[in-house]
Chain A
Amino acid sequence: MALVEHLDLAGVVDLAAKLEGTTPAVVQPRMSLSAVHRALLAPAAALDGRTVHRDLTMKAAVLCARLVEHPPLAEQQLPLAWLCMREFLARNGRDLLVGDPDEVHATLDRVASGQLTDSDLAVWIESQLAPIARRLAS
């Protein structure tokens, strides 16, 4: 399995700052860093030395879902989760076809309300991968 490049705390703070059009120093005090930390650990979770989420889209789904469920920055709950998921995929060579905003919103809303499981979200992400990225992921 290829080495996965995960997001880090600084990266998430930077993404939140960009969403708010400000600097990391301004946004960081308002963020729950423990929520960020918890979300960042999820994709790399291991049990008995074995990776729990082996598939890249599943890792992306888990990261996104944890950030939706426990938002580090309440007023940017869904945008930050989306952006972190996009950046996670991008730094691992995967791009998404830019989809319908209403569909994206409905999907993340269903994650927030618990109607969509991590696996369901991973399947949806897989369906949104740009063709070349889908070939890389397989």
Chain B
Amino acid sequence: MAPTEEPPANETRAMTIRLTTQQAEELEKIAQIDHVPIAEAVRQAVTAHIQERRTDPEFQERVRRIIDQDRAILERLAGS
């Protein structure tokens, strides 16, 4: 994977996360293989996770069902 540019500082937010030793080692390997900084490897993983969640059919179906089921409640709450 080609190296990517660091996003502008004003478009990022610093976060501290604690990984297991195994996760950290595997992340370093992925970053080395892809020739990207570890921070970029983390950003790519987060992007992939977000995309996966957005297309998760089980999640989408469940939310559709809840919204259908709770339509009267949601309308009442929105009207406050």
Contacts and interface: CB of A to CB of B under 8 A. Distances in A.
- The dominant DSSP class at the A interface is helix
Nearest to A90: B62
B53 A14 contact: yes
Interface residues of A, number: 28
B79 to A, nearest CB: 8
A90 B66 contact: yes
Interface stretch (B20-28, B35-43, B70-78): B70-78
B66 A78 contact: no
B57 to A, nearest CB: 13
A19 interface: yes
B71 to A, nearest CB: 9
Contact of B70 (A76, A86, A91): A86
15 contacts: A8-B49, A14-B54, A19-B74, A78-B78, A83-B67, A87-B62, A87-B63, A90-B66, A98-B70, A98-B72, A99-B73, A101-B72, A102-B76, A104-B73, A105-B73
> What are the 4 A-B residue pairs with the smallest beta carbon separation, nearest first?
A101-B76, A78-B77, A10-B50, A10-B53
Interface of B: 13, 49-50, 53-54, 59, 62-64, 66-67, 69-70, 72-78, 80
